[in-house]
């Protein structure tokens, strides 16, 4: 079985609205300098196996952050909305992982005025999701 973050990346790669904007530019943890915009990065923030009075259940809660990156705030916001539409309330099997539910937990905005050549003026919408899945 694949990791939960790989399963959700697959959901995004298979969403026509997301890939119309980023193609396959969906990267773990960070975007390599020199790669084109727009892009998405993702990071597993943590997991919490769920227990019952009789021991471990087969359900795990995960927190995952998706960062929608583009050269303008409006474009980054549009990309973040496409990610939200693809993931919000998603349930199903992806990469062998049974996802029970996926919920948007909020956004943060970063606008960079970097002097690093290709990252000048980049906007980032960081969206957090809570996922319940079978482990």
Q: Has residue 33 got a pLDDT over 90?
A: no
Which numeric CATH code is attached to 4-134?
3.30.2000.30
Please compute, for residue 43, the number of CA atoms within 13 A of its CA located in the half-sphere on the CB side. Answer: 9
Tens-place pLDDT, residues 43-91: 999 999 988 888 778 999 999 999 999 988 899 999 999 999 999 999 9
Q: Would you state the pLDDT for residue 98? A: 97
pLDDT value of position 109: 86
Domain extents for the chain? Answer: 4-134
Counting Cα atoms < 13 Å in the Cβ hemisphere of 121 gives 5
Q: What is the pLDDT of residue 117?
A: 47
Give the mean pLDDT of the chain: 90
Q: Give the residue, 100 or 30, on which the prediction is more confident.
A: 100
């Amino acid at each position: 079985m694949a990791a939960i973050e790989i399963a959700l990346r697959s959901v995004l790669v298979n969403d026509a609205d997301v890939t119309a904007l980023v193609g396959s530019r969906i990267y773990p943890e960070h975007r390599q300098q020199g790669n084109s915009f727009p892009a998405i990065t993702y990071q597993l923030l943590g997991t919490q196996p769920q227990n019952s009075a009789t021991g471990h259940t087969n359900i795990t809660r995960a927190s995952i952050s998706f960062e929608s990156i583009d050269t303008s705030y409006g474009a980054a916001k549009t990309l973040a909305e496409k990610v939200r539409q693809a993931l919000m309330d998603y349930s199903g099997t992806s990469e062998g992982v049974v996802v029970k539910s996926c919920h948007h937990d909020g956004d943060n905005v970063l606008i960079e005025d970097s002097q690093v050549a290709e990252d000048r003026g980049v906007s980032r919408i960081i969206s957090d999701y809570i996922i319940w899945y079978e482990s």
